[in-house]
Structure 1
Amino acid sequence: MIRGLYTAAAGMVTQQRRHDTATQNIANLNTTGYKQVESVSHSFPEVLISSMERGTMKPIGRMNTGVFAEQSISKYLQGDLIESGKTTDFALSADLRLTDPATGGNIVFDGSGKYISNQGETIYQPQAFFTVQDNDGNTFFTRNGSFNVSPAGELLSSGGYKVLGTNGQPVILSGTEGDLKVDGEGNLLDASTGAPSGARLGISIVTRPQELVRDGNGVFHVDDAAAAGVRYANAGDNMQVRQGYIEGSNVDATQAAVDLNAAFRAYEANQKVIQFYDSSLQKAVNDVGRV
């Protein structure tokens, strides 16, 4: 009986986390560059139940001992591009591919941006990010390209991070904000001639985006750049920089609402189970125990 109470309590905690995740997604429906988060639940280890018959153990079956929300996974799928008309707004349009070592062809990712190989390995689609830096020199990645220019001419993100170029240094504009021109590959163009000025936005390709860690303010970091396969974009990548656009949130509003309601109903069901166990224990102690 006590085991069932603990199982229901674990279910309540898990549904609370699912509810919090859905609430977070709904709250960021209009956040530029926001990537939807999904809560992944797993069961506790199963218990093998057996019975003793004439000195031998006879398997009966397996019993699950509860569930827990193990982690939250971000979905890095492309959000809708929204035209803003601002010269300091940028959006990334990317459909990056990987080669399947077994067939030699391009891997075809599913609607969630992942691929399951014949060996059971999960491979996630590489993603492109703007590279930014905080005042302490820490490097982060973001899809929020709503930038602005500081009085010193530095290109800054909406969170105050310095936008980096491919040389690893902050991008500093030589002219006015209205003179800023960037081509599809991220090259900054000379305002007078329209030719590449030599500076380029630092667009980072993260080959294994599952290694990214969400930091808030729309930025991510990696603990090990080599393990995440971080590199700068090159001409061979199927990626384009769109000036005067921003990338909207990729949250599916309908699915987020469904997840929110489902988590609430499951939480309520587990709550009623706990109330039932509480009532049963009360009778066992006060009534049966009295006999």
Structure 2
Amino acid sequence: MYIHNRLGMIEGVETMLAQERRLDQVANNLANVDTAGYKKDAVSFWEMLYQANAERQRVGKALRVHTDHQQGHVDPTGNPLDLAIQGEGFFRIQTDQGIRYTRAGSFQLDPMGQLRTPEGGLVLGDGGPIVVDGNNFAVERDGRVMVDGVQVNQLEVVGVNDLTNLIKEGRNLFRLAAEGEEMPLEAMNFQVRQGFLEKSNVNSVEEMTTMIDLQRSYEAQQKMIQAIDDMDEQAISRVGRFNR
């Protein structure tokens, strides 16, 4: 009885830890519901066989975090420096840490006329960083960058074969899991929309419902652990009486 109760206690604790991780993920999604270009994360659970000790194996809980790259709503802002990708692909950004990728197109101009992210990353085109040296800045739907009616660059919109190779950094930047092993490809099925922003793909109602369900499940596991603890206490008490 004690051995079975002990395994039940371990299973309950592992499940609670997994649910706590999932709750943190849901809370992070809700915190970024208004973050441009944010892609929600999800945690999937599965059972894994591992070596508990020299004599036996046991099944434990494992977690896998994955990012949902489904497109968010594209909303108008009226700001000509805001760009949204309708369809596949990412903006290519030069940062101090290397090349990064994003769907967040809330850009701004620095004193040198270079198009940057709010964090300071340079927005790249086929001809290098995009520089606006003029009054009339426009981006065509195919990514051509026009200044005063003259094409000065081509916005670099790239894709990857396997989105699982992208690792999230911060709120809306991504990097390749293995730089150099997979080179980004030129995106094909996209349109660039100037004066628009892609919003987060988080559905706040779904996330709140998930949070409520997880909290209830967490409380149920707490009650189960308490019940197992009570059973152990009763078993120990009875063994003590039998020895007298």
- Please report the TM-score for the alignment, with normalisation by the length of structure 1: 0.75
Whole-angstrom CA distance in 2 between matches of 1:273 and 1:228: 47
Residue from 245, 255, 268 that aligns with 2:206: 255
Residue 230 of structure 1 is matched in structure 2 by 184
Give the partner amino acid of 1:145.
G
Q: How does 1:101-250 map to 2 (within 5 A)?
A: 127-136=88-97, 138-167=98-127, 169-176=128-135, 179-191=136-148, 194-197=149-152, 199-225=153-179, 227-228=181-182, 230-233=184-187, 237-250=188-201
1:159, CA displacement in angstroms? Answer: 2.3
> Where is the helix percentage greater, Structure 1 or Structure 2?
2
1:172, CA displacement in angstroms? Answer: 1.9
Q: Decide whether the 8 Å contact of 2:133 with 2:147 is kept in 1.
A: no
Whole-angstrom CA distance in 2 between matches of 1:271 and 1:82: 43
Residue from 58, 64, 68 that aligns with 1:71: 64
SS in 2 for 1:144: coil
Residue 284 of structure 1 is matched in structure 2 by 235
- Please report the TM-score for the alignment, with normalisation by the length of structure 2: 0.88
Residue 2 of structure 1 is matched in structure 2 by 6
SS in 2 for 1:29: coil
Identity within the alignment, %: 29
Q: Decide whether the 8 Å contact of 2:36 with 2:197 is kept in 1.
A: yes
Deviations 1:48-71 (A, max 9, x none): xxxxxxxxxxxxxxxx84433x22
Whole-angstrom CA distance in 2 between matches of 1:79 and 1:227: 29
Q: Structure 1: give runs of 5+ residues left out of the alignment.
A: 48-63, 95-126
Whole-angstrom CA distance in 2 between matches of 1:78 and 1:24: 18
1:227, CA displacement in angstroms? Answer: 4.9
Cα gap change, 1:15 to 1:250, in 2 (>3 Å): same
RMSD: 2.1
1:226, CA displacement in angstroms? Answer: 5.7
Number of residue equivalences:
233
1:287, CA displacement in angstroms? Answer: 3.7
Whole-angstrom CA distance in 2 between matches of 1:24 and 1:135: 25
1:232, CA displacement in angstroms? Answer: 2.6
Q: Structure 2: give runs of 5+ residues left out of the alignment.
A: 52-57
1:161, CA displacement in angstroms? Answer: 1.2
Runs of 4+ in structure 1 over 6 Å off: none
Q: Decide whether the 8 Å contact of 1:208 with 1:229 is kept in 2.
A: no
Residue from 79, 82, 89 that aligns with 2:75: 82
1:283, CA displacement in angstroms? Answer: 2.2
Q: Decide whether the 8 Å contact of 1:208 with 1:228 is kept in 2.
A: no
1:285, CA displacement in angstroms? Answer: 2.6
Whole-angstrom CA distance in 2 between matches of 1:265 and 1:20: 15
